[in-house]
Chains A and B, each alone.
Chain A
Amino acid sequence: GAVVSQHPSWVICKSGTSVKIECRSLDFQATTMFWYRQFPKQSLMLMATSNEGSKATYEQGVEKDKFLINHASLTLSTLTVTSAHPEDSSFYICSAEGAVNTEAFFGQGTRLTVV
């Protein structure tokens, strides 16, 4: 299957700082990328959908000014958690699709811990 690379795999940051997470499709062009959040023993919850060259669409309850998403190219999307707080600690994971309604491929996930 196609490869989606997500970095970093884990990060610890101080409260009030910002953290950037990268999601890259290595061997295909991703027209759409999705960002999910997963709490312990819970399922994945969609945060936002991003299409290359346009503004991300955020799910209800997700603060767009806190979770900045940039999809500057067909192979890269970034999620920046701004002014992180301990309650933002979670597992963040991205997915990418080459075309609408095709198979979704996921990155390795990023474990964010805010102290």
Chain B
Amino acid sequence: KQEVTQIPAALSVPEGENLVLNCSFTDSAIYNLQWFRQDPGKGLTSLLLIQSSQREQTSGRLNASLDKSSGRSTLYIAASQPGDSATYLCAVKDSGYALNFGKGTSLLVTP
């Protein structure tokens, strides 16, 4: 069974810092990996989707990389802002067709 781990569980940084969130998974036979943002009590907003054949994806200040062979992905957030405060979830899709989620990284960006 696919296990997805996210480190750190929580992170607090001052505004303007660049930061990296980590995600690891145990079974490298995946179809894709997605990063989501979840605000308290809300649903999930898709940030980036990386297909298994891709190495990275970029959207604005966000960059996600994928190293399938080592079972790792990172989400890089440049020039963090207070509005980036949220929980960031990593999820991988494998042969089960559903997404397998990590527990998330709770990010707080202070002004």
Binding site for B on A (CB under 8 A): 1, 6, 32, 34, 42-44, 46, 49, 91, 93, 95, 100-101, 103-109, 111
Contacts and interface: CB of A to CB of B under 8 A. Distances in A.
B43 A106 contact: yes
A106 B44 contact: yes
Given A32-B97, A34-B99, A43-B103, A101 B32 contact: yes
A27 B99 CA distance: 22
Contacts of A106: 36, 43-46
Given A43-B89, A101-B31, A103-B34, A6 B101 contact: no
A34 B103 contact: no
A108 B31 contact: no
A43 B49 CA distance: 19
B61 interface: no
A64 to B, nearest CB: 16
Contact of B101 (A44, A103, A105): A44
The 6 closest A-B pairs by CB, nearest first: A106-B44, A108-B43, A101-B31, A109-B43, A43-B101, A43-B103
21 contacts: A1-B46, A32-B97, A34-B99, A43-B101, A44-B44, A44-B91, A44-B101, A46-B100, A95-B44, A95-B99, A101-B31, A101-B32, A103-B46, A104-B34, A104-B93, A104-B99, A105-B46, A106-B36, A106-B46, A107-B43, A108-B42
A93 B44 contact: yes
Contacts of B99: 34, 44, 46, 95, 104
A21 B79 CA distance: 39
Interface residues of B, number: 22
A34 B34 CA distance: 15
Interface in B1-56: 31-32, 34, 36, 41-46, 49
B49 A103 contact: yes
A46 B92 CA distance: 13
